[in-house]
């Protein structure tokens, strides 16, 4: 409660004086969707944490639950059909799932903001971008229309939109894809949040524009010392910007590692498969390594390890027992800080 | 009438002749497509044109894969449609086995289309949801009944399903019962139905998950060998294009900026746009993060309705000089590399072409 109350008008001091744990911590989160055909278990016990100034990349294919986790954190999950039967989402030590809708509203946008994938469908086509940017200030800070517009222009300058003053009254369709994504970023930054969740922020963009947008995001993150959760399926983007990585498969985190270590020595067969299926120069003309089979149907996730039907290492134990996300160690038993893997055969995978 | 009939037969005979491996099967010369911009409702007057494709020339050799890369809006998909004759070219020629297919119509065009097929980007919208897989793959036989007699079609469709790695028993299923990767296999099976010689693939894997992309790429490689196909492979993922292509063309704003073998383009690019494009690709290796030089272009691609004078890339180019705004560079081996036996001596449309290695060699 205390956090909410004393931040009603001014942004809280960075770093959170009253809390010295991670900025955001997700604990054993479960999300399911009740559909006509049964219960789809989209997220099955996810744990991760982000500190201020840190970038966590959540890597996964479509249907792995990476976006649903993000929506649960933002509190924008459609409920029903969605349901959160278990779990905690701690923001500065307070469980957001136990807060009232009104309290969550105060956090959303002000403390945690989100950047969506498709900027064209996320912006309202019949309102000018200036109006949409200013909405944050009018609603959260009770500013006048005139002041909010001045603020919008400042924000557009901040994300390097040329001629911001002239373009503040333009509509979303008058901007290019890269510029629209900048407006989305500006909107997320408006109230200088502590944490930004970026859900595939550059997937719809061309590579040259993608590089511009990722650079901008990294620059602003450093300036404001924000935490960033980057949701993506692109192994290249992750390698470029992330500090640590969580790889998701069928609603679970299968591997967690600092970025430099994951690429060199994956500790889960799924991660290894993803890395091996990237075309490499020395393999030109040969067959690409491909993970056989298809991602599982969430209505009937395989028993045991969800990856077992596609896994080259799968054994009997994989079909019966769900492997826990456990710490990974060096061959001699010494610690590998920050590394975890959910595989019965992680030893063979990382050291083999 | 008799004349036309005779002509058609001559064309058909020419089209049936086989082309040797390594010979050009498709020659594109100065291809242009301008979409008119009009004003007014009743009396429409043309006020300009979107120059989607503005003078593109290249050859596709039998049995090879030519990759075309470029950002959205550079005209690569329009080129695909022009080659299929789905759009009529404003100017220029497309020679298929020596016949200019942009001028063909009627029976002769139909014969050409049998040999040039297409695989589309989005496997969700390119398959009719109300048709079974058997009907979708078998539909080409309704248009070209000479390929498969009626009673034989079901067997042929099942064979095709088997070839692309799907269970032949799925013949009566509907597209929604398949995943993205499986649907793309259905799209490929439909493309193969008429035993074409050329398949034009417009971003065939960009809508698929990473782990499934590799499966489809492998399938396409296998089919190319098995059926002796030539691919025109359009994509924006540069690493996949490199993996599958023998030669690569880079397009910018309706023009070809640079074209050469994969090694020439990726390791010895001479056009500044190619260099910027390659350096912007995120490398899946965190070690490379620190000591990688990146060229970040400013601004966006200019509007093709109003392209810059001279070199169309000059507005974003760090090398641009007075000359670039006045003189349009032609696609040729740059003067400084002419007659030299270096990988840099390949076609590049830049006044100040110079070699610059941007991709770390593994």
Residue B199's pLDDT is 94
* Chain B residues in contact with A291 (beta carbon < 8 A): 211, 214-215
ipTM metric:
0.76
Distance, CA of A351 to CA of A331 (rounded, Å): 7
- Three-state DSSP class for residue B245: coil
Distance, CA of B83 to CA of B87 (rounded, Å): 8
Any idea which architecture B24-33+50-245 has in CATH?
A: 3-Layer(aba) Sandwich (3.40)
Reference B68, options B270, B231, B184, B263; nearest CA is B231
Residue A5's pLDDT is 44
A203 lies within 8 A of chain B by CB: no
**Nearby residues of B263 by Cβ (< 8 Å), 6 or more positions away:** B343
Which phi and psi angles does A309 have, rounded to 5°? -65, -20
User: Taking the domains of chain A in order of start, what are their residue ranges?
Assistant: 22-242, 248-280+288-351
CA distances from B93 to A187, A348, B86, B106, B238 (A): 49, 58, 14, 18, 28
Residue A81's pLDDT is 85
A178 lies within 8 A of chain B by CB: yes
- By Cβ distance, the residue of B212, B239, B297 closest to A208 is B297
Cβ–Cβ under 8 Å, residues A74 and A108: yes
Residue A209's pLDDT is 80
- Three-state DSSP class for residue A138: helix
- Strands of the B116-119 sheet, one edge to the other: B116-119, B198-202, B230-234, B65-69, B247-252, B255-261, B347-348
Distance, CA of A277 to CA of B80 (rounded, Å): 28
Please, which contacts does A157-165 make with residues 24 or more away whose CB atoms are closer than 8 Å?
Answer: A158/A186, A158/A189, A158/A220, A159/A183, A159/A185, A159/A186, A159/A189, A159/A216, A159/A220, A160/A216, A161/A186, A162/B299
Cβ–Cβ under 8 Å, residues A69 and A128: no
A204 lies within 8 A of chain B by CB: no
Rg (CA), chain B: 22
Q: Which sign, positive or negative, has the C-alpha torsion B39, B75, B354, A280?
A: positive
Distance, CA of A211 to CA of A202 (rounded, Å): 9
Q: List chain B residues with pLDDT less than 70.
A: 1-16, 290, 359-362
Query: pLDDT (tens digit, 9 = 90+) per residue, B227-277?
Result: 999 999 998 888 889 889 999 999 999 999 999 998 899 889 999 999 998
What's the whole-number average pLDDT of chain A? 85
Q: What six digits make up the tokens of A194?
A: 């502590």
Which phi and psi angles does B286 have, rounded to 5°? -60, -20
CA distances from A248 to A24, A256, B13, B67, B170 (A): 18, 9, 57, 32, 31
- Three-state DSSP class for residue A15: coil
Helices A207-224 and B272-280 cross at an angle (nearest 10°) of 50
Residue A7's pLDDT is 40
Q: How many residues would you count in chain A?
A: 352
Chain A nearest-CA distance from B272, in A, is 13
Element (H, E) at A260: helix A259-264
Residue A94's pLDDT is 87
Chain B nearest-CA distance from A4, in A, is 39
Q: What six digits make up the tokens of A309?
A: 């039907």
Cβ–Cβ under 8 Å, residues B293 and B358: yes
Which phi and psi angles does B140 have, rounded to 5°? -55, -30
- By Cβ distance, the residue of A209, A239, A287 closest to B289 is A239
**Nearby residues of B13 by Cβ (< 8 Å), 6 or more positions away:** none
Q: What six digits make up the tokens of A85?
A: 């039967």
Cβ–Cβ under 8 Å, residues B112 and B15: yes
**Nearby residues of B217 by Cβ (< 8 Å), 6 or more positions away:** A279, A288, B205, B240, B243, B244
Query: pLDDT (tens digit, 9 = 90+) per residue, A39-51?
Result: 888 899 899 999 9
Distance, CA of B250 to CA of B245 (rounded, Å): 13
Parallel, antiparallel, or unpaired for β A252-258 and A244-249? antiparallel
**Alpha-helical regions (H) of B268-326:** 272-280, 322-326
Name the closest residue on chain B to residue A294, using Cα atoms.
B212
Interchain proximity A207–B280, CB inside 8 Å:
yes
First to last CA, chain B: 62
Please enumerate residues of B whose Cβ is less than 8 A from a Cβ of A: 71-72, 179, 181-182, 209-215, 217-218, 221-222, 236, 238-240, 242-243, 262, 276-277, 280-289, 294, 296-301, 361-362
Which phi and psi angles does A122 have, rounded to 5°? -90, -15
Q: A39: which strand partners?
A: A34
Interchain proximity B211–A291, CB inside 8 Å:
yes
- By Cβ distance, the residue of A259, A277, A294 closest to B210 is A277
Chain B nearest-CA distance from A111, in A, is 30
CA distances from B354 to B298, B328, B333 (A): 21, 17, 11
Distance, CA of A302 to CA of B121 (rounded, Å): 31
Half-sphere exposure of A43 (CA within 13 A, CB side): 28
Q: What angle do CA A292, A295, A296 make, to 5 degrees?
A: 120
Q: List chain A residues with pLDDT less than 70.
A: 1-19, 281-283
Half-sphere exposure of A165 (CA within 13 A, CB side): 0
Half-sphere exposure of B45 (CA within 13 A, CB side): 1
Interchain proximity B362–A281, CB inside 8 Å:
yes
Q: What six digits make up the tokens of A252?
A: 């679970």
Reference A345, options A267, A290, A264, A250; nearest CA is A267
Q: What is the DSSP letter of B332?
A: B
Specify the CATH superfamily of domain A22-242. P-loop containing nucleotide triphosphate hydrolases (3.40.50.300)
Residue A240's pLDDT is 83
**Nearby residues of B113 by Cβ (< 8 Å), 6 or more positions away:** B84, B85
| CB proximity under 8 Å: A 60-89 to B | 61-62
Q: What six digits make up the tokens of A328?
A: 């990974």
- Other Cβ atoms less than 10 A from the Cβ of A24: the count is 24
């Amino acid at each position: 409660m205390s956090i909410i109350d004393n931040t009603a008008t001014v942004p809280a001091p960075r770093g959170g004086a009253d809390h010295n744990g991670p900025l955001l911590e997700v604990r054993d989160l479960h999300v399911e969707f009740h559909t006509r055909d049964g219960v789809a278990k989209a997220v099955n016990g996810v744990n991760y944490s982000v500190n201020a100034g840190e970038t966590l990349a959540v890597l996964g294919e479509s249907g792995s639950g990476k976006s649903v986790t993000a929506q649960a954190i933002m509190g924008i999950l459609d409920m029903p059909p969605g349901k959160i039967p278990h779990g905690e989402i701690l923001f500065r030590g307070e469980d957001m799932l136990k807060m009232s809708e009104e309290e969550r509203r105060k956090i959303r946008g002000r403390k945690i903001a989100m950047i969506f994938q498709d900027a064209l469908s996320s912006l309202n086509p019949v309102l000018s971008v200036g109006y949409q940017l200013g909405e944050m200030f009018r609603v959260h800070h009770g500013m006048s229309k005139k002041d909010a517009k001045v603020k919008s222009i400042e924000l557009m300058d901040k994300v390097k939109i040329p001629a911001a003053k002239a373009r503040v009254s333009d509509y979303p369709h008058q901007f290019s894809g890269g510029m629209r994504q900048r407006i989305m970023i500006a909107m997320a930054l408006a109230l200088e949040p502590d944490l930004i969740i970026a859900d595939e922020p550059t997937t719809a963009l061309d590579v040259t524009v993608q590089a511009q947008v990722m650079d901008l995001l990294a620059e602003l993150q450093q300036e404001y010392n924000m935490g960033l959760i980057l949701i993506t399926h692109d192994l290249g983007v992750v390698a470029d910007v992330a500090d640590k990585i969580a790889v998701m498969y069928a609603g679970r985190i299968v591997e967690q590692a600092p970025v430099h270590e994951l690429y060199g020595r994956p500790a889960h067969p799924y991660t290894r498969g993803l890395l091996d299926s990237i075309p490499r120069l020395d393999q030109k003309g040969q067959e690409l390594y491909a993970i056989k089979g298809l991602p599982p149907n969430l209505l009937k996730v395989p028993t045991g390890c969800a990856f077992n039907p596609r896994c080259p290492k799968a054994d009997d134990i994989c079909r019966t027992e769900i492997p826990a996300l456990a710490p990974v160690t060096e061959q001699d038993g010494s610690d590998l800080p920050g590394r975890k893997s959910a595989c019965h055969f992680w030893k063979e995978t990382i050291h083999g | 009438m008799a004349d036309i009939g005779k002509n058609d037969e001559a064309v058909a005979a020419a089209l049936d002749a086989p082309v040797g491996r390594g010979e050009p099967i498709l020659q594109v010369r100065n291809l242009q497509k301008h979409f008119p911009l009009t004003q007014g409702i009743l009396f429409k007057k043309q006020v300009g044109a979107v120059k989607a494709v503005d003078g593109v020339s290249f050859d596709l050799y039998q049995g090879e894969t030519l990759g075309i890369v470029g950002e959205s809006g550079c005209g690569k998909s329009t080129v695909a449609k022009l080659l299929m004759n789905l759009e009529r070219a404003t100017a220029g020629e497309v020679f298929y086995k020596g016949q200019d297919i942009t001028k063909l119509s009627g029976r002769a065009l139909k014969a050409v289309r049998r040999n040039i097929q297409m695989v589309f980007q989005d496997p969700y919208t390119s398959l009719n949801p109300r048709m079974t897989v058997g009907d979708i793959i078998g539909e080409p036989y309704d248009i070209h009944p000479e390929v498969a007699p009626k009673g034989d079609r079901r067997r042929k469709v099942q064979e095709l399903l088997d070839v692309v790695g799907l269970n032949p028993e799925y013949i009566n299923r509907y597209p929604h019962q398949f995943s993205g990767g499986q649907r793309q296999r259905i799209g490929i099976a439909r493309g193969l139905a008429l035993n074409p010689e050329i398949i034009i693939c417009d971003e065939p894997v960009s809508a698929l998950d990473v782990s499934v992309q590799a499966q489809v790429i492998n399938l396409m490689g296998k089919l190319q060998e098995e059926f002796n196909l030539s691919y025109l492979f359009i994509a924006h993922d540069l690493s996949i294009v490199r993996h599958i292509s023998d030669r690569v063309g880079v397009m910018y704003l309706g023009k070809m900026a640079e074209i050469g073998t994969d090694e020439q383009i990726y390791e010895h690019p001479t056009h500044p746009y190619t260099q910027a494009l390659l350096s912007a690709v995120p490398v899946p290796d965190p070690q490379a993060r620190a000591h990688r030089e990146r060229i970040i272009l400013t601004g966006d691609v200019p509007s093709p309705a109003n392209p810059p004078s001279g070199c169309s890339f000059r507005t974003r180019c760090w090398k641009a000089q007075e000359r670039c705004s006045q003189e349009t560079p032609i696609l040729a081996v740059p003067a400084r590399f002419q007659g030299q036996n270096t990988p840099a001596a390949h076609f590049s449309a830049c006044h100040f072409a110079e070699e610059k290695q941007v991709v770390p060699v593994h």
